[in-house]
Homo-oligomer: A and B are copies of this chain.
């Protein structure tokens, strides 16, 4: 819909970054660990993390030398919301889901 979603899609449209995001589901990680697990070089890892950060997908916490990158919830929530505009596409099961989401308690 808007500019921010475009940035999120662009950030995720790259295999290494997609794998980073998947990796970070299990919790925050440092740059070195990410690079190692993804079998990429540290500078590339830093660059990709920067892109993810600028897209708001990831946030960083400094701990001395280390930087811990962690997933942010908001972009995923926004994708969820964006997707609701397309649920009517497939079938009426999701009309019920829409109702559920609308009435969902906090």
Contact = CB atoms under 8 A, between A and B. Distances in A.
A71 B89 contact: yes
**How many copies of the shown chain assemble into the complex?**
2
Interface stretch (A5-13, A30-38, A61-69): A5-13
B83 A83 contact: yes
Task: Tell me whether chain A's interface is mostly helix, strand or loop, or mixed.
Answer: helix
A15 to B, nearest CB: 6
A97 interface: yes
Nearest to A10: B13
Interface in A65-100: 71, 73, 76-77, 79-80, 83, 85-87, 89-91, 93, 96-97, 100
A87 to B, nearest CB: 8
Contact of A71 (B10, B80, B86, B101): B86
